[in-house]
Structure 1
Amino acid sequence: MNDRTLSVPGIVYGGDYNPEQWPEEVWAEDVRLMREAGVNMVSVGIFSWALLEPSEGVFDFSRTDRILGLLHENGIAVDLATPTAAPPAWFFRAHPEALPADRDGRTLSYGSRQTFCPSSPAYRTAALKITAALAERYASHPAVTMWHVHNEYGCHNAACYCDTSAESFRRWLRARYGDDLAALNHAWGTAFWSQWYYAWDEILPPRATGAVPNPTHQLDWRRFCSDELLSLYTAERDVLREAAPAIPATTNFMVMHNFDALDYWRWAPELDVVANDHYLMSADPESQIDVALSGDVMRSLAGGPWLLMEHSTGAVNWQPVNRAKTPGELRRNALAHVAHGADGICYFQWRAAKAGAEQWHSAMLPHAGTDSRIWQDVVRLGADLRALAEVRGSGGTAELAVVWDWDARWALEFPSQPSGELRFQDLVRAWYEPLWRAGVAVDFVRPDADLSAYKAVLVPSLYLVDDAGAANLTGFAEAGGTLAVGFHSGMADENSHVRLGGYPGAFREALGVRTDELFPLLPGERVALSGGGTGSLWSERVRPAGAEVVTSYTDGPLAGVPAVTRHAYGAGSAWYLATLPDAETLAGLLGRIREEAGVAAGRAAPKGVEVVVRRGADADYVFVIDHAGAGAEVSVAAGSVELLSGKPVDGVVVVAPGEIAVVRERRASA
């Protein structure tokens, strides 16, 4: 860890503050209400480039000077942003070549946000210039507690297919392959379809073509796009760090639903404070599971506590139907993020906009003002977070890890797979959900991570894995751990080349099975399994090669063929799930697997009640969150204290319907 830490005491509480959207006479009311709500930090200036630099090289910081002064006078810290996510119109009129192009070759226009080519030299120069000007002016300002670099990298321009991007892509490839074009041709398998390259200049981004593009070309392109945006982040961060070495820098990740543009394992080490934006999907009937999954991924990326930079008090504005949150949901969501490692809770945005593209996005101070349920909930949450100040810095308790890998995710979802129905995050969530219901703490890990702290490692989906990652995972089982691998894993190497000799490729020996042919299932199709239950999405002709059969298919073309196996491997065991069992059957299998590993379920709680533990230096913090709305009683240690109420708890904490309790349990060893 670095020594640049966020100095705001307790749990951070606030959101994006955009006072430029309002007359200056509103600002005093803003800070008065922030104090009433318990806000202690706001992000300022995220989309203010056009106001800070009204013409090239001409800066106007007068408004920001007044805003930062007002906030500091009222004891509110500032997360000061570089405004580089939204270049002004004058920039694009001067540099039209900086506009991005899509896969079809169309140049996109300015008029929204992130309408720039990430490889544009003109954009980089202008972005670093405004960043340097901000750093020079505010590096020693007493309000500035953190730098907020850019905003949601890759949200709208994760890839640009213009000629400038093509040149940058070729430079990236030359570095990756040691300037050896033969090595690239081998890695990409260009002997197929006469794709062999004889000169670097022949290589283009994977633009729209008449047939399926080369999968390794696409994979390297995704890696390049992630790295190209990361280079923009580090360039701005370094300018800020030179001006203010002690002030931490962050940017906001988007570990939520289906955003997959960036490899955050590569990004996280570059951030002083790891932060995330998370929004619920209205169509998800149990979005609280996504909150938990996202939080666990973030805690794993950060290696400890993290900051929730954005979420919503109510409805968002960008889904087909944008539903409001139900009574109590604002509070449950926020405290669930804290339960899963967040040391800060922030929203987009402070005051709901009356104009612009996000005018129907909820905010801490809604259109209805203070006479609203949202405002009442915001004030209550502020009091809750003050009561939880001591939770800050506490960590997780996981003995079980789930493998998560962006390369494997990208490669799985490229065209021409055996099934177009496979979605990485859906498969991970299918395995995660029964663990969540059982109250099992989960960390997420890279394939090559140190696994020594875990008793069980689950691999729901890892289509692509290099030799080192595969050896690390199988070595975990050989050394005494319990490994469980999902179908279509280990099939390809780091170049997305199929591993020969039978499936599941890299894991064949450790799993003690061999498959010679795949039988993916049609949408809605199911196969019956011995012992009850069904499988969906996938089946394959598995032949045991040392493994014992746990479950078999009982109908269809593979009747009698193993569907789930277990193999004693070294001092441990390796399980293989060659289909996606229904939720109940999968829960039973994962329960058996983790019990074999010695990973116990969490504390007993009614269905729909989430129990999460954060571990402090001398106490555990037990979060009990009733998502089901029926109330709950959960056992806790005698002599505990419920922090939100300040009341002692002796043996059982009672949670009212739809409510939350956070109990401090002193550990016997403390």
Structure 2
Amino acid sequence: RYGNNPFIKAWQLDNEYGCHDTIISYSDVARAAFQEWLTDRYGDVEALNTAWGNVFWSMEYDRFDQIDLPNLTVTEPNPAHVMAFRRFSSDQVVKFNRVQVNVLRAATDVPLIHNYMGRILDFDHFEVGEDLDIASWDSYPIGFLSDRLEGDDDHKAAFLQQGDPDMQAFHHDLYRAVGKGRWWVMEQQPGPVNWAPYNPAPLDGMVRLWSWEAIAHGAEVVSYFRWRQAPFAQEQMHAGLLRPDDTPAAGMEEAAQVAQEIATLGPLVQVQADVALIFDYPSDWAWNTMPQGADFDYFRLIFSAYRALRRAGLSIDIIPSTQRNFDGYKLVFAPGLANTDPTLMSDLRDSDALAVLGPRTATVTDELSIPPQTQPVITGLDVNIELSESFPPSHIRSVEGGGSVVHWMEKLSGSSPVLMKTEGGATVLTGDDQMWYLGSWPDETLWNRLVGMAATQAGLHTTALPDGLRLRTAGAVQFAFNYSAHSVSWNDQVFDACSVTAWDRQDRILK
């Protein structure tokens, strides 16, 4: 009926995969499907027993139909069992999405799109995205600061009505990769929401800032949720561009301003960044299954690296762990990448980029066991992990030259040159001209030092930005976004609170 309707420009499949804990299922149907998935993956139950190390604790199976789901166990389940179940659960989302894709492909030629979410890692978005034309996500900066980001009280107070300065940009860059260059914001917060623990209103200027930041990162569309605030049911307190009585709400004026400015500024050109950050969903499942420390979290680690790169004024491409072509990149970061695929490491070694790996990079197999080779499994780098430690938040280890190790540290040995060490003499960073291995989790100061060192080695210019100010390059246009609730100064310029500024060859074209 609507397949060839000229007013339909894209089809959205489903809504927010993973919302409300809808990926992991411990139902009887899930158990039967999991057993079938295991049969297809391993073929023979003895192969599964060997891969999982089921000889430990006498956990061998005789038949696939004996294998239950990894919940309600007396003690912790086998990590390989959990990891297999996480892969199965992700594959189910891919299959479910593909069923819808196949139905729509037969009925329409317009692009197919799904709206992903912030910090939802239960399925592999890259694999889902392979069947779609456009990625999108639902951006709720204030809600996310409150309900899904770590941060001290001072940070959360400073950005209470603006959102974290890097959370939105991270997901813009992530979903640009998931969408293979094409992405939208399907739901942009225009005012207070109803679902976070606390729901303050955005400061004046923030709806405009969020909109322009998405556009600067390549968004083809910024769509606000919602058009009109509903006067009933579960989301009646969720603001829209219009109030329930159809009068304009606070966000309407700023959305209209952005529309006018887009027409004046014209299209932007997206170019490959100099810096890439490898993001890998299975690594989150791995470290969630086997954290070895109460606060070791993959997203938290990789986001800390992303924040450090942004504090240095750099634009970043997020890329999948399946990527093997690194042409054009000068610097590639891969913190916490569990993958031990030798082709990835050799291709990084053969590229022109400086690769900064670790901690925990290339330290487990796909079955979440210790590889037979010396860890980490990195081509051409003589570094060995002798043991790994996790620390409580109260414990730090100071590093020579400034900064500290927090959360995690590996005891490293080998002949690779030492680039950083603790005040006690333990190796923190080691490497050669092509690859570095970081055996620790840096605090903010140490991340800043590390990014500065790596950028210098890679021939990149960095700049220390004031708190809350972030930059983004889109072709010939340079953007500055001030998330702070007060004006800041940088590079002999003053940036108003909650403001967007853009230059084209030194001429200011947006303020």
**Normalized against structure 2, the TM-score is what?**
0.89
Match of 1:584 among 429, 445, 449: 445
Work out whether residues 486 and 577 of structure 1, in 8 Å CA contact, stay in contact via their aligned partners in 2.
yes
Name structure 2 gaps, 5 residues minimum: 147-155, 507-511
CA contact (8 A) 1:605 1:634 kept: no
1:374-397 Cα shifts (integer Å, max 9, x gaps): 232232233234334422xx3233
> In structure 2, which of residues 372, 397, 402 is the aligned counterpart of residue 527 of structure 1?
397
Q: Distance in 2 between matches of 1:320 and 1:253?
A: 21
State the partner residue of 1:160. 25
CA distance in 2, matches of 1:625, 1:217: 45
Note the alpha carbon deviations across 1:243-297, whole angstroms, 9 max, x for none: 12x221111112x2x3111101111111112211222223354612111111111
Question: Does 2:87 correspond to 1:223?
Answer: yes
Question: Which residue does the alignment assign to 1:132?
Answer: none
Structure 2 counterpart of 1:534, which letter?
S
Distance in 2 of aligned mates of 1:605 and 1:540: 31
SS at structure 2 position matched to 1:343: coil
Q: How does 1:227-306 map to 2 (within 5 A)?
A: 227-244=91-108, 246-254=109-117, 256=118, 258-280=119-141, 281-283=144-146, 284=156, 285=159, 287-306=164-183
Against the structure 1 CA distance between its residues 579 and 288, is the aligned structure 2 distance closer, same or farther, given a 3 Å change threshold? same
Task: Report the residue type matching 1:252 in the other structure.
Answer: N
Q: What's the C-alpha RMSD, in Å, of the aligned pairs?
A: 2.4
Pick the aligned partner of 1:421 from 295, 299, 322: 295
Contact 1:396–1:441 (CA under 8 A) maintained in structure 2: no
1:354-393 aligned within 5 A:
354-367=231-244, 369-370=246-247, 372-391=249-268
Map 1:551-562 to 2 at 5 A: 551-554=420-423, 559-562=424-427
Post-superposition shift, 1:552?
2.1
Equivalent pair of 2:13/2:114 in contact (CA under 8 Å): yes
- Inter-partner Cα distance in structure 1 for 2:45 and 2:328: 42
In structure 1, the residue corresponding to 2:166 is in which secondary structure?
helix
Q: Tell me if the contact between 1:502 and 1:516 (Cα under 8 Å) persists in the aligned partners.
A: no
Structure 2 counterparts to residues 124-135 of structure 1, below 5 A: none
Please name the residue that 1:21 is paired with.
Answer: none
- How far did 1:465 drift? 1.0
Give the drift of 1:601.
2.5
Aligned partner of 2:203 in structure 1 is 326
The residue type equivalent to 2:288 in the other structure is: E
Aligned mates of 2:365, 2:327 — CA distance in 1: 24
What letter is aligned with 2:145?
A: S
Q: CA deviation at 1:308?
A: 0.8
What is the CA deviation profile of residues 123-157 of structure 1, one whole-angstrom value per residue up to 9, with x for unaligned ones? xxxxxxxxxxxxxx111223222111111122131
Residue aligned with 1:172, SS: helix
In 2, distance between residues paired with 1:454 and 1:171?
42
Residue-by-residue CA offset, 1:65-86 (whole Å, 9 max, x unaligned):
xxxxxxxxxxxxxxxxxxxxxx
- What amino acid sits opposite 1:613 in the alignment? T
User: Match of 1:337?
Assistant: 214
Number of positions where the alignment pairs a residue of Structure 1 with one of Structure 2: 488
Cα–Cα, structure 1 residues 633 and 541, in superposed 2: closer, same or farther, change >3 Å? Answer: closer
Instruction: Summarize the alignment of residues 609-624 of structure 1 with structure 2, pairs less than 5 Å apart.
Output: 609-615=469-475, 620-624=476-480
Task: Supply the distance in 1 between the matched residues of 2:304 and 2:75 (Cα, whole angstroms).
Answer: 32
Distance verdict in 2 for CA 1:532–1:609, change over 3 Å: closer
User: How far apart in 1 are the matches of 2:18 and 2:496?
Assistant: 41
Q: Structure 1: where are the runs of 5+ without partners?
A: 1-136, 636-652
Q: Give the one of 367, 387, 412 matched to 2:287.
A: 412
Distance 1:147 1:389, change over 3 A: farther
Instruction: Tell me if structure 1 keeps the 8 A contact 2:481–2:500.
Output: yes
Deviations 1:558-595 (A, max 9, x none): x3221222x22xxx422222222221222111111121
Identity %: 26
**Match of 2:369?**
497
Per-residue CA deviation, residues 309-346 of structure 1 (Å, 9 max, x unaligned), is 11211222222112221111111111111111211101
**For the structure 1 residues 385 and 218, does the alpha-carbon distance in structure 2 shift closer, same or farther, using more than 3 Å as the test?**
farther
Larger Rg: 1
Deviations 1:474-517 (A, max 9, x none): 442355431112222211011111124543x313x644222212
1:436 aligns with 2:318: no
Q: Deviations over 1:210-240 (max 9, x none)?
A: 2101212211211211221221221112111
Amino acid at match of 1:592: M
- State the partner residue of 1:465: 339
Q: Does 1:452 align with 2:327?
A: yes
Equivalent residue, structure 1, for 2:39: 174
Structure 2 distance, partners of 1:458, 1:374, is: 37
Hey, which bits of structure 1, 4+ residues long, moved more than 6 A?
Answer: none
SS state at 2:74 partner = coil
Q: Would you say the 8 A contact 1:306–1:343 is kept in 2?
A: yes
Say whether residues 1:397 and 2:272 are aligned partners.
Answer: yes
Equivalent of 1:506, from 368, 372, 377?
377
Q: Which residue of 1 aligns with 2:416?
A: 547
Other-structure match for 1:630 = 487
CA 1:318–1:657: 2 relative to 1, 3 Å: closer
Mapped partners of 1:423, 1:574: distance in 2:
24
Match of 2:509? none
Indicate conservation of the 8 Å contact 2:273/2:315, yes or no.
Answer: yes
Tell me by how many angstroms 1:365 deviates: 1.4
- 8 A Cα contact 1:622 1:663, kept in partner: yes
- Give the Cα separation in 1 of the matches to 2:313 and 2:373: 40
Contact 2:190–2:224 (8 Å) recurs in 1: yes
Query: Aligned with 1:155: secondary structure?
Result: coil
Q: 1:661 aligns with which of 494, 501, 509?
A: 501
- Equivalent residue of 1:310, what SS? strand
Checking the alignment, whether the CA contact within 8 Å between 1:631 and 1:658 is kept in structure 2 is: no
Report what 1:100 is aligned to: none
Secondary structure at the counterpart of residue 257 of structure 2 = helix
Supply the distance in 2 between the matched residues of 1:605 and 1:165 (Cα, whole angstroms). Answer: 49
One-letter identity of the residue aligned with 1:622? Q
- 1:601 — aligned with what? 462
Distance in 2 (CA, whole Å) between partners of 1:279 and 1:658 is 16
Secondary structure at the aligned position of 1:537 is classed as: strand
- CA deviation profile, 1:578-617 (whole Å, cap 9, x unmatched): 2222212221111111210123337x865533221112xx
Rounded Cα–Cα distance in structure 2 between residues aligned with 1:607 and 1:287? 11
Deviation per residue, 1:38-85 (Å, 9 max, x gap)? xxxxxxxxxxxxxxxxxxxxxxxxxxxxxxxxxxxxxxxxxxxxxxxx
2:402 counterpart letter in structure 1: G
The 2-side partners of 1:632 and 1:530 are apart by 30
- Tell me the distance in 1 between the aligned counterparts of 2:460 and 2:187: 33
Secondary structure in 1 matching 2:408: coil
Aligned AA (2:209): R
Cα-to-partner distance string for 1:182-218 (whole Å, 9 max, x where unaligned): 2222222222222212112112222322210121221
- Report the AA paired with residue 334 of structure 2: V
Q: Cα distance, 1:654 vs. partner?
A: 7.6
Residues of 1 paired with 2:405 and 2:466: CA distance? 27
1:181 CA drift (Å): 2.1
Asked whether the 8 Å contact 1:397–1:614 carries over to 2, the reply is no
Contact 2:227 2:241 in 1 (8 A): yes
CA distance in 1, matches of 2:23, 2:502: 39
Q: Partner of 2:267: helix, strand, or coil?
A: helix
The one-letter code sitting in structure 2 at the alignment partner of 1:433 is R
- Evaluate the alpha carbon distance shift between residue 181 and residue 221 of structure 1 in structure 2; reply closer, same or farther with a 3 A threshold: same
For 1:539, the aligned partner's letter is M
Q: Do structure 1's residue 202 and structure 2's residue 66 form an aligned pair?
A: yes
